[in-house]
Amino acid sequence: MTTSHYIAGRWVDGQGSDCISVNDPALGQPFAELMAASAEQVDQAVAAARAALPAWKCTSASERAAYLRGFAEQLGQRREALVTLQMRNNGKPRHEAEVDLDDAIATFGYYAELAEQLPGQNRDVPLAAPGFTARTRLEPVGVVGLIVPWNFPLVTSAWKLAPALAAGCTVVLKPSEVTPLCELAYGQIADTLGLPAGVLNIVNGKAETGAALSNHNGLDKLSFTGSNNVGSQVMRSAAAQCRPVTLELGGKSAILVFDDCDVDSAVQWIVAGICWNAGQMCSATSRLLVQDGIADALLPRLQAALENLRVGSPLSEEADMGPVTSQAQWLKVAGYFATAREEGLQCLVGGKVLDRGGWFVSPTLYADVPEGSRLWNEEIFGPVLCARRFASEQQAIAEANDSRFGLVATVCTTDLARAERVADALEVGHVWINSVQAVFVETSWGGTKGSGIGRELGPWGLSGYQSVKHVTRCLG
């Protein structure tokens, strides 16, 4: 793409002052440049979405569903190009990039089905009082701004874009400046499908563009996924506008391994929870709580598994884990390695950046990390795992819940009654039992405490883009 913005159904060059450098993290070198959108172009995108809203929200459910299925089909037709772009711009190994694309395709297909059910959700409401009737009407919330992060492009945008379009909203999408290219495929698909102009608008840029969008008084809602620091700024702008928000923010999630668990299975679940996407996941289970009875058997096997993980370039090597996505993230992880040395943490494996020309870091395991450690409490966003031992179920639950975050957790035990009991006690939005982090579009996604507000995916994701209207009629 030589033009970086899709506004009112047209591709336009950026008129902002920032030049966005798009990098290959395996090489640590740029391979594309885009000019950012100006504040005026953000205005134009919001105005286009506002102009398109009256007609779009009145389209039939079947028509909106057909467009959503078209997005799913077109993503599939662009499969190799998008997988390769994910590998090149994100540093994802091929198997991870393929999962991402499949996730995006499934999301559009799912919300196409929900869109077709919308007419049935307008229903009569029984009243105790005689002489009146009432009905519920679900309407699109209006024009929404969508700000998405760099760790899962295509995916996070699909989680927001598909339900918003299904509900009848029009949108302005702002991708991350780190990974701006994949989301442009949605503009290409909109062109191919003949999506009405202004229903989908895409503006690229850095923090200034995001601020221009989140502060814009032409939005009816904003949905943001990213860091807590930026999320708090988004929330302040929403408060100034008295505008609803959905925020999917950070995490410092726990994986609890009880002493009856199969060691080899536990190692598999632990490694996947911290090394998928090089640990750049808000859901990374970066706190390992392991019961005393299994710790001496598990930790050496976990150390060996991390040592044997193949770290390399997704485009030139057979890699289990690629680089972190940006130089800034590489430096951040390196800073935590330095903090670990200052704190005197026991490093079983890793604890260093790798000198390979790109932004590679080693899969890392620290043992017996004290609860006051920065590494135990702060979100690192890299393949850095901190382990502590526990004696009882009650202690494990208490330590898992002792966090300002509450996104996810994993429970590993063959005692299924205990697994369900512990899952119910954990203060998080999603719990896996004896599993890798399998995320299904039918389930909800979101957290408690500092991990955000609202839910995405499932019917909850659709309801986040709907407003409820009641119509009451006097029969007299």
**pLDDT score of 58:** 94
- Domains of the chain are 5-249+451-474 (3.40.605.10), 254-440 (3.40.309.10)
Give the C-alpha separation, 17 to 342, whole Å: 41
* Neighbour count for residue 262 (Cβ, 10 Å): 13
Which one, of 440, 468, 452, 466, lies nearest residue 159 by Cα? 440
Please give the structure tokens belonging to residue 177.
Answer: 């400046």
Q: What is the DSSP string of 400-439?
A: HH-SSEESEEEEE-S-HHHHHHHHHHS-SSEEEESS----
pLDDT string in tens for the chain (476-residue length)? 556 899 999 999 999 989 999 999 999 999 999 999 999 999 999 999 999 999 999 999 999 999 999 999 999 999 999 999 999 999 999 999 999 999 999 999 999 999 998 877 788 999 999 999 999 999 999 999 999 999 999 999 999 999 999 999 999 999 999 999 999 999 999 999 999 999 999 999 999 999 999 999 999 999 999 999 999 999 999 999 999 999 999 999 999 999 999 999 999 999 999 999 999 999 999 999 999 999 999 999 999 999 999 999 998 878 999 999 999 999 999 999 999 999 999 999 999 999 888 999 999 999 999 999 999 999 999 999 999 999 999 999 999 999 999 999 999 999 999 999 999 999 999 999 999 999 999 999 999 999 999 999 999 999 999 999 999 999 98
Question: Which residues share a beta bridge with 10?
Answer: 7
Please give the structure tokens belonging to residue 166.
Answer: 């299904």
Name the 3-class secondary structure at 44.
helix
Whole-Å CA distances, 202 to 197, 225, 233, 366, 415: 12, 16, 21, 42, 49
432 contact partners, CB below 8 Å, separation of at least 6:
269, 408, 409, 410, 411, 438
280-312 burial: b if 16+ Cβ within 10 Å, else e: bbbbbbbbbbbbeebbeebbeebbebbeebebb
Give the C-alpha separation, 419 to 410, whole Å: 9
Instruction: Give the residue carrying structure tokens 């006097």.
Output: 474
Name the 3-class secondary structure at 133.
strand
Please give the structure tokens belonging to residue 307.
Answer: 């040592």
Instruction: Give the residue carrying structure tokens 């512990």.
Output: 422
Q: What angle do CA 215, 216, 219 make, to 5 degrees?
A: 115
H-helix or E-strand containing 366? Answer: strand 364-367
Fill in the amino acid letter for 142: G
- Catalytic residue set: 248, 282
Torsion sign over Cα 215, 160, 455, 332: negative
Torsion sign over Cα 102, 103, 108, 112: positive
Torsion sign over Cα 267, 268, 271, 274: negative
**pLDDT score of 309:** 96
Give the C-alpha separation, 372 to 357, whole Å: 34
pTM for the model stands at 0.96
63-83 burial: b if 16+ Cβ within 10 Å, else e: ebbebbbbbbbbbeebeeebb
Burial, 335: exposed, middle or buried (Cβ in 10 Å; 0-12, 13-18, 19+)?
exposed
Give the C-alpha separation, 127 to 124, whole Å: 9
Q: What is the DSSP string of 98-122?
A: HHHHHHHHHHHHHHHHHHHTGGGGS
